[in-house]
Structures are given as C-alpha cells and as structure tokens.
Amino acid sequence: MTLKFADDTVVVGLISDNNETAYLKEIRNLENWCQRNNLLLNVSKTKELIVDFSTKQERNYQTPVINECPVERVDSFKYLGVHITQDLSWSCHINTVVKKARQRLYHLRRLRDFQLPSKVLRNFYSCTIESILTGNILTCFGNSTMQDRRALQRVVRSAGRTIRSELPDLHSIYSRRCWTKARKIVKDLSHPNNRLFSLLRSGKRFRSLKTNTERLRRSFFPQAMRSLNHTTTQY
C-alpha cells in the first residue's frame, strides 16, 4: 500500500445560524475520502481559521477532530505564500512582502556599484523586487491600509533612487492589472465569474455590483467593474 500526503488541501465552510453541522460534515467527508484514496492528512500541520465579523455575541465553535486528533485553531496562517488572518486584513502579508523585497534591494545596489547599465538594473528590479511586491496585488492592494501602501511604495522609491530612474507606482500597476484581468474574464465565457459582468441596456457600461460593506466595495470584482466602466467612459 502506498500512502500519499494531501498538500495544500483546504475546506471552506459557511456556518449559518450557529449551525456547524454542514461544516463539520464536510471535514468528515474529506477525512473519509482521504482514507479511501490512501492519502494521509498531517493533523499537526492542519489549522483552522474562523472569520467571524458578527458583533452581536461571542460564539463558541466546536473544535474539528481528524483521526481522533483535535485541529489547532489559529488567528492567521500562511497558505500558498499568502498570509491570511481572521480579520481578513493584509497588514501581516504586506509586512512580510516588504521585508522580503527590501532584502533584494541590497543586491540591486551591488549591481549598481558594478556600474551595470540602467536597463539591466530595471530588469533585475522587475524580476526580483516588483514581482514580489505585485505577486498578490489583485487580492490585497484594494483592501490594504494607507500605511501598508506607503510601506510598499517606499520600496519602489528606494529602488528608483538606486537605479536613478522613475519606476511605475504600485497603484498604477494595480489599476492596469485590474482592467486586464477583468477583460480576460469578460472574454472567457467559461470563466465561473463571467456572469458577474453583465452589460446595461445601453450595451456600453457594466452593471455595478451591490456592495454592503467597505471591504467588499474595495475588493477585486467591484474595483474591476469600475475600471472597465471608467475606460468605457473615456472612450
């Protein structure tokens, strides 16, 4: 018998009216499926994170059990390189990104000291620093705080001073990528979120999404919709 590990497996559940039955059932289904397919879940590395913005009352949630071992509940965890917190803020992730990008600035300065051409320095910046700063930009930049944005932009300015050249600011990159990603979704009829982009009767502008919270308003899809409509208006 060959045992395999199930890496990066995630169960997402919705708990409504304090009823955790469906959520716990999904966990049991996953556990049973893994056993049938000779997959081993490492419970010591398995974490549970609860996102609950309800302010009416404090709730006590059941602790999931896998292979007769309780799953540890955490306030944040790293998944596929992204730090996710229970309040869905991006400060933890952005702080990590800024720290990693600043480490790359040292190598950029060393290349400058060797008097490499500006084009080479810009390519190095794009590949090793900008790629880190913008790796998850569509997800986190819209809901990032001004303090986090300034921290990200300081890295860009430091790199610009090193290269002695003006570099594109992150807000411009975010806006451009929002528009590009939205256009791809609109053109791809098989995309699961294509239905969110519906045209108004005029056929020129897209119907805005209803947003009840500031967090949702600043997330990708409402921002992408505004980006498409803004471009349409300009034309």
Residue pLDDT, tens place only, 150-185? 999 999 999 999 999 999 999 999 999 999 999 999
Compute the residue count for the chain: 235
Decide: 50 and 73 in contact? Cβ < 8 Å. Answer: yes
Six-digit token string for 96:
């990590």
Q: How many domains does the chain have?
A: 3
- In this structure, are 100 and 63 located in the same domain? no
Task: Reduce the DSSP state of residue 45 to 3 states and report it.
Answer: helix
- In this structure, are 67 and 115 located in the same domain? no
Domain enclosing residue 129, as ranges = 91-168
pLDDT at 38: 83
| Closest C-alpha among 216, 219, 227, 141 to residue 183 | 227
Residue appearing with tokens 């917190």: 85
Q: What is the rounded average pLDDT for all residues in the chain?
A: 90
More confident residue, 76 or 3: 76
Q: Quick check: is 107 in a domain?
A: yes
Residue pLDDT, tens place only, 207-232? 999 999 999 999 999 999 999 998 75
Boundary (domain end) residue, out of 168, 191, 219: 168
Decide: 71 and 42 in contact? Cβ < 8 Å. Answer: no
> What single-letter amino acid sits at 90?
W
- In this structure, are 141 and 182 located in the same domain? no
Please give the helix or strand (H or E) that residue 179 lies within, else none: helix 170-187
Boundary (domain end) residue, out of 168, 191, 214: 168
Beta-bridge mates of residue 83: 78
Q: Has residue 51 got a pLDDT over 70?
A: yes
- In this structure, are 35 and 99 located in the same domain? no
Report the alpha-carbon distance of residue 180 to residue 191 in Å, rounded: 15
Q: Buried b / exposed e across 109-136, counting CB within 10 Å, b at 16+?
A: eebbeeeeeeeebbebbeebbbebbbbb
- Determine the average pLDDT of the residues in 63-70: 91
- In this structure, are 115 and 149 located in the same domain? yes
| Backbone Cα Rg of the chain | 22
- Under the banding of pLDDT at 50, 70 and 90, the label for residue 42 is confident
pTM of the predicted structure, to 2 decimals: 0.85
